[in-house]
A and B are shown apart, each in its own frame.
Chain A
Amino acid sequence: DTEVTQTPKHLVMGMTNKKSLKCEQHMGHRAMYWYKQKAKKPPELMFVYSYEKLSINESVPSRFSPECPNSSLLNLHLHALQPEDSALYLCASSQPGTGKSPLHFGNGTRLTVT
Chain B
Amino acid sequence: QQQVKQSPQSLIVQKGGIPIINCAYENTAFDYFPWYQQFPGKGPALLIAIRPDVSEKKEGRFTISFNKSAKQFSLHIMDSQPGDSATYFCPYNQGGKLIFGQGTELSVKP
Could you list which residues of chain A lie within 8 angstroms of chain B, going by C-beta atoms?
A: 2, 4, 33, 40-45, 48, 50, 55-56, 58, 90, 92, 96, 99-100, 102-108
Contacts and interface: CB of A to CB of B under 8 A. Distances in A.
A106 B43 CA distance: 6
A50 B96 CA distance: 10
Contacts, number: 53
Q: How large is the interface on B (under 10, 10 to 19, 20 to 34, 35 or more residues)?
A: 20 to 34
B89 A56 contact: no
B103 to A, nearest CB: 5
A99 B32 contact: yes
Nearest to A106: B43
B91 to A, nearest CB: 8
B43 A45 contact: no
- Going nearest first, the 4 A-B pairs with the smallest beta carbon separation are A105-B43, A99-B93, A42-B100, A102-B46
B34 interface: yes
